[in-house]
Structure 1
Amino acid sequence: MTELYQRELLQSQIEIQNHTLQQIAQELHDNIGQLLTVAVMRLNTLEDEVQELESQRSVQQTRELLRTVISDVRALSKTLDYDTVQRFGLLPSLTLELERIQHTGRIQAQLITSGETYSLGDQAETVLLRMAQESINNVLKHASASNLTVSVLYKPDCFVLTIADDGKGFNVGEATARTLDQAGAGLNNLHRRTRLLGGACRVDSNFGEGTRIEIQLPRNQMI
């Protein structure tokens, strides 16, 4: 399979993924968000109808929980929407993603930026965001981590994205050896997409020592 063919295939995958995620984002924002808002309105009415103090408190707590869910759904719909990345760029999209995760209270998440920012192009930044989201999702699902740090470094000649956690770690060699049809083959996808962007991906992890993923791209990447 030639590199040109692989690049064309990646671009096709990006277009399909963006279209699918945009539909999901629209569904979350328009339909799910609207239904949750209606539920809050009904709870407002119910609060006026119940007399017991304990019942009123329960209604209030449920209403606040739903408002939190509404906020999270709106934030999620934005990070899934390709137009958000295209309009605001990679950094604001990563910021929104980490704020959403931080808001859940499951893990301490922070974004560290260094250097003078520049654009890598809409397609490359979209691919980078999806890779970051996939890596972050793996941290949340598997790492049992307390802290997550995403670092973005803008060098004059290259761009470096790092996702690091203090979780339980894993065997990198074993994970890399998995075929694409096996569960947990995401590392191969990270390496493949990074190569097609003209860059390099390094994954360091040991049991009990957390995981560090570093994606480095030349500033003038080719996609």
Structure 2
Amino acid sequence: MSGSIDLIYDKTLKVISDLLHVKNAAILSVGESELTIERLLSKGKVSNEGQSIYNEKLYGEVSSITEPTLKPSNVFRDTRLINIVPGTDYYVFPCLDSHSKVIALIILPVLKLEDFSIENYSLVHVVGQRLSVELEKSRVIKERESLSEFNASVLESLDEVTWDYSVAKKRILWFGAVYKVFGYQKEEMGNSPNFFLDRIHPSDRVSLEDRLMMNKQPNEKFTIDFQFKNTNEGYYWLRIEGVLHATADGIAERVIGVVKNVHNEKMAELLRIRAMIKAKDSERKRIASEIHDSLGQTLSVARLELDTLLELNKGADFEDRVKSVSDLVAGAIQESRTISHDLMPPALVDYGLIPALETMISQVDRSSDVKFIFFHNDIDERFEEEFETNIYRICQEGINNILKHAQAKTATIQVIRHPDYVYISIEDDGVGFKKISDIKGGAGLGLKNMANRVAYLGGKIDFESNKGSIITIEISI
């Protein structure tokens, strides 16, 4: 910007020198509280000065000039002007901005006042007006650049990226702390959305791409949390917020918004969920163990004692009463075993996820009016204990929800092993969910527990309701 202003000053003095045949002249810039000699024309040669000549009296004299005027030489006493641009008087032309404020002065020496004629300086008015316009334009541009630099520094300090996606051009622009947020330089991100979309986790890409590329709801704000792959080949959590702007005819034009790094926030929430689920599962194990090892054994001993009593007394009435109590104890033993197995299924511990699910689903299929179908793609591997336990509980919660609320005739549970993730679907032909938005907001304890366990495993869960319900889950492994 300073280069363009320098050029304006140089051209102004050159025009004055060539057309007025003036050998000596000067241009002063007028700041808020300073006067600076920007250019000097001495003996036909232009020199770049940049020297301040401020004093309070001089500033007061010249900063209030709004019309071309003559000033006696003593006004510029003790300045370089007297020596380099000598004159008995000086013709001063003020360059004004759009607010009629003096921003520069063109100063021409008058050697003999009796020879002075205003007509001789008419061209100065044209040149001075042009200088005023150019300086005002430069000032505006400089202010805009300063504002842009300020905005950029603010965005950098906020660790956010603003973005602007053109629907017609399929071009996206990034502004702000691009490297801090994405881990890539702005030049690497480019203007095509493909670089950005290709680094989004597959389980998040569809929903984000739908809102970014195919959004048809003008002025409706959206917020999506997604996982983004950084340069270290790891994923971390970002949050994108945006809104679609359309033309007056309703044609999608631009989608704009911000991207923030919410990884720490997500990790803190995940740690909270993990602590809660670990505590719950630990308590399940403890209770199951207590029921199996303590209560179960006590009941078994009690039944043996009752059987011993039968040997001591052969009375029919006594035998009937003892047998009745023994049957009650036998029922309590069976119930304690059932509760213990529900809390911590032996098949899950001994044989793994798929056999445990087959056992559970087979049992509910026999004991309920709902026809349950289980499908998996021949998974025979064992996973980590936490993974198996949480997948089992997720399916268990889904099945319980079908039995309690769905009013379904058939239900299908699928567990599909892909190379990089496990896909789970729980589907029924019942009445469906009342409001998907309520479910996603956490309504329903069972569904909320499912969502928490999916979050614990770093996965994604979706709910759909249309002539029944379907819950789909994707968990990376």
Task: Give the TM-score normalised by structure 1.
Answer: 0.70
Higher strand share: 2
SS state of the match for residue 444, structure 2? coil
State the 1:104 CA deviation: 2.2
Letter in 2 for 1:102: D
- Which among 207, 210, 214 is matched to residue 468 of structure 2? 210
Q: Structure 1 residues 105 and 176 mapped into 2: Cα distance closer, same or farther (>3 Å)?
A: closer
Aligned match of 1:200: 460
Provide, for residues 49-99 of structure 1, a one-character-per-residue CA deviation record: whole Å limited to 9, x for no partner: 879xxx9xxx8xxx6x99788656535422422775344221122122223
- Which among 141, 151, 156 is matched to residue 404 of structure 2? 141
Aligned match of 2:85: none
Q: Structure 1 residues 15 and 194 mapped into 2: Cα distance closer, same or farther (>3 Å)?
A: closer
Q: How does 1:117-132 map to 2 (within 5 A)?
A: 117-132=380-395
- Rounded Cα–Cα distance in structure 1 between residues aligned with 2:404 and 2:444: 11
Q: Which moved more, 1:189-198 or 1:125-134?
A: 189-198
CA contact (8 A) 1:115 1:155 kept: no
State the 1:189 CA deviation: 4.2
- How much identity, in percent, do the aligned residues show? 27
Higher RCO structure, 1 or 2 (CA under 8 Å, sep 6+) = 1
Q: Which moved more, 1:146-155 or 1:186-195?
A: 186-195
CA contact (8 A) 2:428 2:470 kept: yes
CA contact (8 A) 1:146 1:166 kept: yes
Letter in 1 for 2:425: T
Aligned match of 2:365: 102
Q: Does 1:20 pair with 2:20?
A: no
CA contact (8 A) 2:436 2:463 kept: no
Aligned residues: 207
Q: Structure 1 residues 67 and 195 mapped into 2: Cα distance closer, same or farther (>3 Å)?
A: same
| Root mean square deviation of aligned Cα | 3.8
SS state of the match for residue 464, structure 2? strand
Q: Which moved more, 1:110-119 or 1:162-171?
A: 110-119
Letter in 2 for 1:193: R
Aligned match of 1:5: 268
SS state of the match for residue 413, structure 2? strand
Q: Structure 1 residues 134 and 105 mapped into 2: Cα distance closer, same or farther (>3 Å)?
A: closer
- Rounded Cα–Cα distance in structure 1 between residues aligned with 2:315 and 2:461: 59
Q: Which moved more, 1:124-133 or 1:103-112?
A: 103-112
- Which among 373, 377, 381 is matched to residue 114 of structure 1? 377
Q: Structure 1 residues 74 and 185 mapped into 2: Cα distance closer, same or farther (>3 Å)?
A: closer
Letter in 2 for 1:97: M
Letter in 2 for 1:163: I
Q: How does 1:1-223 map to 2 (within 5 A)?
A: 2-30=265-293, 74-81=337-344, 85-176=348-439, 178-179=441-442, 184-206=444-466, 209-218=467-476, 220=477
CA contact (8 A) 1:40 1:66 kept: no
State the 1:29 CA deviation: 3.3
Higher helix share: 1
Q: Structure 1 residues 16 and 192 mapped into 2: Cα distance closer, same or farther (>3 Å)?
A: closer
Letter in 2 for 1:125: E
- Rounded Cα–Cα distance in structure 2 between residues aligned with 1:124 and 1:161: 13
- Rounded Cα–Cα distance in structure 1 between residues aligned with 2:268 and 2:347: 28
State the 1:192 CA deviation: 4.2
Q: Structure 1 residues 114 and 40 mapped into 2: Cα distance closer, same or farther (>3 Å)?
A: farther
State the 1:168 CA deviation: 1.4
Letter in 1 for 2:363: R
Letter in 2 for 1:216: E
CA contact (8 A) 1:176 1:185 kept: no
SS state of the match for residue 137, structure 1? helix
- Rounded Cα–Cα distance in structure 2 between residues aligned with 1:149 and 1:107: 10
- Rounded Cα–Cα distance in structure 2 between residues aligned with 1:172 and 1:115: 35
- Rounded Cα–Cα distance in structure 2 between residues aligned with 1:215 and 1:50: 60
- Rounded Cα–Cα distance in structure 1 between residues aligned with 2:280 and 2:445: 18
State the 1:30 CA deviation: 4.7
Letter in 1 for 2:280: Q
Where structure 2 has 5 or more consecutive residues not aligned to the other structure, the ranges are 1-263
Q: Which moved more, 1:10-19 or 1:127-136?
A: 10-19
